[in-house]
Amino acid sequence: MFNSMQIRVKLYAFRFAASLFRTELRWTQSRYTSISSVTVDVDPIMKKDKVSKAMKAYLERAKAHNEFMSIQNMEFKIGKRHLANMMGEDPEAFSQDDIDRSIQYLFPSGLYDKNAKPMMKPPEEVIPQRKAAEFNETGRPFHSMFYTGRPNYCKLLFDIVENINNLNEVEDQRLRKHLTPDQTQRLETSGYDWQSKEALEKILLEDISDTEYDNFASAISRLIHLPYSYRQKSFIDKYRRPLLIKTDSDQIPKPQLDENGRSYVTVYECLRKSARGDVTVIAPGKGTIKINGHDITYFKDIQAREQVLFPLIFANMVGKVDVSANVEGGGFSGQAGAIRWGIAMALRSFVDADIIDRMRIAGLLQRDYRRRERKKPGQAGARKKYTWKKR
């Protein structure tokens, strides 16, 4: 064991050796000043930045996507040039409208579904858009909600809740001052609906489930029903759409005058199931209804009579116009549906735009193409099956 005196001697010897080393180092630096001023380049291999595995995988996917898009763009330009040569047009001045017109001329299709028809669009419009890099080279995410799995969706819900809290604070402040919201700026909810699940996924660039979409719809519905929701109109309009486009005034037929000077409108091709007919609405009138020369008792069933009267009741035109209809084919249900659609289409010429929009939302202006489903072979009916027996 060392005593205290030996430890002190060893400590003094260590300090003395350290002072000698510092003196030798200063002497060496002063002697070789020219050598110390020379800079030495470090091997660039030693200065490699650390890149996370996630970033490497993303860069590989992005590189493959960019190569794929470049090939698709090149093929689109080649196809566009060939199509212009086939049509005898200048390839440099060949626009997208010219492409669509040429496709419709060269490849006529009787398919009704828009997605089933042949088309030729730029790859950027057909191929889904990719999300940008969500993290830096070290793997640190840019988005604060990256680890939720759906950062854009969660950020949308966060913004909705934040707007709700802000509007509640505004309402509390104005209540203390005995102020009420401006009813003239209240947002209109009728005639609008929220973006569909597919449209919302395109906006967010993320896939969401039905439950998550229902949560979004309930949250933003709560926001729009607040008294001061008009303060967030720009935010709300991003995620809602009109149910139906407003009717163009040019599509509504103009009334003609008969020999008595009364206005009338005739609607042809009134269809429902196997029934075909035409309907004439005359204004002003006394409310008389003629169906194949008979009154409303032409239909024995009460439900069929209600179908004929429903457009007049909905537009508040009972007793104000006369109706004359000729219909043939089908049964009473089909004939009543055909007359109902004809009356609704003719009433557009005698009511204002607000009632037309209400009729459109109620479905009065939409044709009913439903038909009876046929019986299938090997089955008891259209959907009914025979009882299976083992023996």
Q: Are strands 275-283 and 322-328 parallel, antiparallel or unpaired?
A: antiparallel
Question: Which of 338, 343, 337 has the alpha carbon at shortest distance from 322?
Answer: 343
Domain borders along the chain are 54-126, 149-242, 253-362
pLDDT confidence of residue 296:
92
Question: Which of 190, 176, 286 has the alpha carbon at shortest distance from 244?
Answer: 190
Burial of 215 from C-beta contacts in 10 A (0-12 / 13-18 / 19+): middle
- Distance (Å, whole) CA 285 – CA 321: 4
Contact 93, 83 (CB under 8 A): no
What are the backbone dihedrals phi and psi of residue 120, each rounded to the nearest 5 degrees, phi first? -145, 100
pLDDT confidence of residue 104:
80
Share of the chain above pLDDT 70, in %: 79
| pTM reported for the whole predicted model | 0.44
Tokens 């260590």 belong to residue:
14
pLDDT confidence of residue 360:
87
**DSSP bridge partners of 290:** 324
Q: List, in order, residues 6 or more apart from 271 with CB less than 8 Å away.
A: 338, 341, 367
Q: What is the pLDDT of residues 49-107, one digit of tens each?
A: 566 676 677 777 778 888 888 898 898 889 888 888 888 888 888 888 888 888 888 87
Contact 348, 356 (CB under 8 A): yes
- Distance (Å, whole) CA 313 – CA 321: 12
**DSSP bridge partners of 283:** 263
- Distance (Å, whole) CA 106 – CA 99: 10
Which letter, b or e, does each residue of 166-205 get, where b requires 16 or more Cβ atoms within 10 Å of its Cβ? ebeeeeeeeeeeeeebeeeeebeeeeeebbebeebbeebe
Q: What is the pLDDT of residues 28-44, one digit of tens each?
A: 455 444 434 433 343 44
Q: List, in order, residues 6 or more apart from 242 with CB less than 8 Å away.
A: 191, 192, 193
Amino acid code (one letter) for 190: S
The fold adopted by the segment(s) 253-362 is Ribosomal Protein S5; domain 2 (3.30.230)
Which residues of the chain fall below pLDDT 50? 1-2, 9, 11, 14, 20-21, 25, 28, 31-48, 246-250
pLDDT confidence of residue 136:
65
- Distance (Å, whole) CA 83 – CA 102: 8
DSSP H or E stretch at residue 52: none
- Distance (Å, whole) CA 178 – CA 112: 58
Question: Which of 233, 232, 199 has the alpha carbon at shortest distance from 216?
Answer: 199
Contact 297, 351 (CB under 8 A): no
pLDDT confidence of residue 125:
79
Cα angle for residues 375, 380, 383 (degrees, 5° grid): 60
